[in-house]
Chain A
Amino acid sequence: MATPSRARPGIWSIRGPMSQRRYWMLAAIGLIVPVLAWWAVANSGWVEKVFMPTPGSVWSRTALWWSEDNLLQDAGISIYRVTAGWLLSAVIAMPIGLLIGTFRPVQALLEPLTDFVRYMPAVAFIPLVMLWVGIDEGSKVAIIFIGTFFQMVLMVAEDVRRVPAAQIEAAQTMGATRMEIIQLVLLPSSKPALVDTLRITMGWAWTYLVVAELVAANSGLGYAILKAQRFLQTDKIFAGIILIGLIGLIIDQLFRLFHRKAFPWMHTKS
């Protein structure tokens, strides 16, 4: 007698299979339920509108912000600051991390130091930065830089160290010079991991941006949130937070899209 075919393992088995359709259905539920809960609580009258605005009022506040208060300009200046601080970090951290991950003397010289500095809270540097740089654009960029740079150096170094030794040694036995190994093996091999590092640090850059704008700015999304608090415009605080979340999500997805396009070999499994 033929043995009955085994049933497909359930979705609750460890790392069990799940169809695309089910996945997106659950994802949609995961997103919609909190919004519904928010809507229900805000409209129930249990909490005062000042503490918990309704989704509707947040939406209309956003529209008002867009049409009369120049939302685009606030978002633009914030995006500019994040990008500038993060880019400055990346431009300096990439070569330093590459050197740490490649040459032992550089590692000995710089890694313990970087490890130490990264445990100093970037937020605590704000008073110092304001003393040194003032409160113009430079100070925001500087705070984002301090918050992301040291972590980025260590992550880049680790990405480069993760390149399998056999890849390097194969190149050596084909006669590659040190420069060629860096250019033709270390960089291309670690590139996907480097893009991921850039994506993750971009998220942190947003956190430090808001901190910087809360203390030392007169424009930007963080500043708008702070100002809204003074006028008890809770709906605008909500709008600001959600906007930052959305911008972050979009940037993250763009990074992932780039990853898929730039490294097809990682995403083509047989």
Chain B
Amino acid sequence: MDAHKVVTIAPRIRVRGLGKVFGEKPQQVEALKDIDLEVCDNEFVTLVGASGCGKSTLLRIIGGLEYQTSGEILSSSKPVAGPGADRAMVFQHYSLYPWLDVMENIRFSRRLRANRHDITSADVEMASGRAEALLNLMGLSNMAHAYPNQLSGGMQQRVAIARALMGRPEILLMDEPFGALDAQTREVMHDLILHVFKLEKATIVFVTHDVEEAIYLGQRVVLLAPRPGRIDTIYKVPLPAQRHQDMKHAREFLDLKKEILQRIRETSGMKTDSELLEQLSRTAGNQ
């Protein structure tokens, strides 16, 4: 009998019929509607879409920082009931602790566990080894005792990522983590995060408004459409698992980028630029 049993691996994250309405009766905003999404174990999924389409909201609900108003969400087959150490989050801004140095920031999650009683000295030793390793991985070994406000934006985000990884989360949630960085730094961070992804075998959900970033990093790109936020299209990225900067110039890459950008423009309900410009020049001419 056992021989016939079909083994199906449950997805790491399962979102079913999820909806989110913000606010109370007269002024409600339907931020998300009927979201169905499954993210496999050790998968890298990116979320894109027009501004205000609910990307952050969806990510925050998965992280347990926001609650849904309908539908269900399972993480590792358990319903999400709030934030937890299995789903670490990296924010765009202001999440580092400015009163702690780089090393203390990275070890913050250990300080939380240290207050609990199920900690052995072997654990503590292993943890300090891991903090060192993460510091090296992020190329910050000579910055261990600097304060966050002494670091550049790119370095700060590397500390934030190391801190999130410290507790070995199963899922890493990232909300435009490189949104404030310049283009060159961002490229470096892309290869770093792909390296981390391979090394740590985590599952990553990554929000961005940069389509190129979404394709370069993601195995699948999920496009949300606004008002109400819903899943429009899910694109499978036709690139090999091992990414390389040169791939950004490949035919498939550019075609997919064009297609996604086109679709975002269609779903955002905004007029195309040429129409808008024509209208502007006409009103300017009337004056």
Point out residues on A near B: beta carbons under 8 Å. Answer: 164, 166-167, 169-177, 180, 184-185, 188-189, 191, 263-266, 268-270
Contacts and interface: CB of A to CB of B under 8 A. Distances in A.
17 contacts: A166-B91, A166-B93, A169-B91, A170-B160, A170-B164, A173-B64, A173-B87, A173-B164, A174-B163, A174-B167, A175-B83, A184-B108, A184-B112, A189-B97, A268-B147, A269-B149, A270-B149
B231 interface: no
B85 A170 contact: no
Contacts of A175: 83-85, 109, 112-113, 167
A178 to B, nearest CB: 11
B94 A167 contact: yes
Contact of A164 (B84, B95, B101, B167): B95
Contacts of A172: 64-65, 82-83
A270 B94 contact: no
Nearest to A181: B112
A173 B84 contact: yes
Given A166-B93, A171-B108, A173-B84, A268 B65 contact: no
A265 B148 CA distance: 8
Q: Which 5 A-B pairs have the closest CB atoms?
A: A175-B85, A166-B95, A172-B83, A174-B109, A173-B89
Given A169-B65, A265-B149, A270-B150, A176 B112 contact: yes
B167 A180 contact: no
Interface residues of B, number: 37
Scoring A171, A263, A265 by chain B CB atoms within 10 A of each residue's CB, the highest score goes to A265
A174 B95 contact: no
Nearest to B166: A174
B147 A170 contact: no
Given A170-B164, A171-B108, A270-B151, 9 more contacts: A164-B93, A166-B93, A169-B95, A170-B91, A170-B160, A173-B64, A173-B89, A189-B97, A268-B150
A222 to B, nearest CB: 39
Given A174-B109, A270-B149, A265 B93 contact: no
B50 interface: no
A191 B100 CA distance: 13
Contacts of B96: 167
Contacts of A170: 89, 91, 95, 160, 163-164
Given A180-B112, A265-B147, A173 B88 contact: yes
B146 to A, nearest CB: 8
B129 interface: no
B98 interface: yes
Contacts of A185: 97
Nearest to B108: A174
Contacts of B87: 173
Contacts of B173: 173
Nearest to B146: A270
Given A173-B173, A174-B167, A176-B112, A188 B85 contact: no
A177 to B, nearest CB: 8
B63 interface: yes
A266 B99 CA distance: 8
B287 interface: no
B115 interface: yes
Nearest to B152: A270
Contacts of A166: 91, 93-95
A266 B147 CA distance: 9
Scoring B94, B148, B160, B173 by chain A CB atoms within 10 A of each residue's CB, the highest score goes to B94
Contacts of A270: 149-151
Contact of A184 (B64, B82, B111): B111
Contacts of B93: 164, 166
A270 B147 CA distance: 9
Nearest to B93: A166
Given A164-B94, A175-B85, A268-B150, A188 B99 contact: yes
Scoring B96, B99, B101 by chain A CB atoms within 10 A of each residue's CB, the highest score goes to B99
Interface in B218-239: none
A163 to B, nearest CB: 10
Interface string B88-132: 110101111111010000001101110100000000000000000
